[in-house]
Amino acid sequence: MAMSMSPYFVSEESGADSDDFQISGWRSASSSRRSSSSSRRSSLGNPSLTGLRSAPPSTVYAEESEDELSFKESQSQAEPWKPNAYIKIGELGRGTFGIVYKCLCVDNNRHFVVKEMEACNHTYRQLAENEVSLLKNIDHKRIIRYYESEMEQDAVTLYTEFMLGGSVLRAIKKYGPLAEKVILKYTRQLIEALAYIHEKGIVHNDIKCDNLLLDDEDNLKLGDFGSAVQK
């Protein structure tokens, strides 16, 4: 086992899992509004079914470029952004009624996140619309950035910021226990996020390491407002 001198973690193991994801296909964002109910429900369980065609051989794997690593978000929260067409690079996670994908916009090579949520009954739809409604009205540096959303008869699609550093849970699993100064930093940044949403009467209801996300500068943002409520 090789030991790292990283100041951010107590210990670090070499040979950790790769961050590369195989591209499953590309699709037009606008085409999702014309998809049938049955095909949309099946695609939630299988990313490969959502591609309109296979990705070009030259792009079998997508990696973060130097341009993206140095890219600073220029759009304000008040300016919605939605890709015209994008590639699903890989699945980031799934919950009771939705799947989250890391995606790449084919127009500008910008990474972002797509959360596809089932809305096949009143309860699921209400939960999905609640998350969209809350994120639309949140604008804070410690909270995941909302871009845009799409409402369909049996599904809701949410477009949000991609966090290059992954979750705090993933970092702990990959590198081991956090150093004390990092815990203090993340705690301070989380408190900033919670103070902001509490001022708005919003309760997150699902604070856990898997929902604490890190950017490329190791700053924390609070994500996943699927369980959140507003008083």
- Residue whose pair of structure tokens reads 């550093």 in the numeric block: 165
115 belongs to an annotated ligand binding site: yes
* Cα of 208 vs its chain's centroid, Å: 15
Do 162 and 113 form a contact (C-beta atoms < 8 A)? yes
| Catalytic residue chosen out of the listed positions 154, 206, 210, 215 | 206
Q: Is 206 a catalytic residue?
A: yes
Angstrom distances, CA of residue 97 to CA of 120, 126, 154, 195, 224: 10, 12, 11, 29, 13
- Closest C-alpha to 8, from 221, 186, 143: 186
Q: Which amino acid is at 200?
A: K
Across-strand partners of 222?
143, 212
Measured distance CA(175)–CA(11) in Å, rounded: 6
Q: Which amino acid is at 21?
A: F
Could you tell me where the DSSP H helices lie in 46-105?
66-69
Do 86 and 106 form a contact (C-beta atoms < 8 A)? yes
Measured distance CA(10)–CA(216) in Å, rounded: 20
Which residues belong to the active site? Answer: 206
Which residues carry a binding-site annotation for ATP?
A: 115
